[in-house]
Structure 1
């Protein structure tokens, strides 16, 4: 869990330092604006923008029951964020597994990608697809 929050924490710390230098220079407005930008970036790179993650075993079980795809992801991954944001509200209809929080999820991704932890990996009906387009993933959702 700590690894997923390292980048957001680093962004907030750096933003605070940059804002502090602006305050020291007498630019309070610029300091507030810069701090808000860094906080926004920290939020975007945090696990908070993704639907709640579940374990890999639970995701496989649920997928077998309801036919929804399983998405293996990790915080800070630009491709995962692209998939998440382009799916919009449909993202909540998928089963999300954070590979940094779930060792079984990381093992499943490595097994599907010749030992690499390449994300997002979307599993549909037991078949993995690496970095698919959001439109394709939306098309895999059961009606």
Structure 2
């Protein structure tokens, strides 16, 4: 569980280190800008950007019941972040499985990708699609009720 926070924490620490130089040199504006930039990057790579993850078995069960796609992702993945941001509000209509928290989800991704943990892997009707276009994923969503 702590592994998902390594990159965001490193970014915040790096931002603090990068801001120290300009702050000591008497340029607090540059120091503040650097710190804010690194904090924003840390936030973007953290699990907080994504909807609450669920277990792979539960995601499969729910998907079978309502036809919504299941997205397997991991924190720090730029392609996962791209998918999440491009989906916007529609992201909450998918089931998100964090493969770093769920070993069964990681195993499903490896089985779908020839042994690699390539994410995002989106399962639609039990068929895997690796790193699909966000507009295609949006088109796979059932109509909103």
Q: CA deviation at 1:22?
A: 1.3
Gaps of 5+ in 1: none
Partner of 2:136: 136
Q: How many residues align?
A: 143
Matches within 5 A, 1:3-82: 3-82=3-82
1:28: Cα distance to partner? 1.0
Q: Which runs of 4+ in 1 moved over 2 A?
A: none
Equivalent runs, 1:88-107 vs 2, <5 Å: 88-107=88-107
User: In 1, Cα distance between the equivalents of 2:19 and 2:117?
Assistant: 36
Shift of 1:2: 1.5
Q: TM-score, normalised by structure 2?
A: 0.97
1:133 and 1:40 mapped to 2: Cα distance?
25
**Structure 2: gaps spanning 5 or more residues:** none
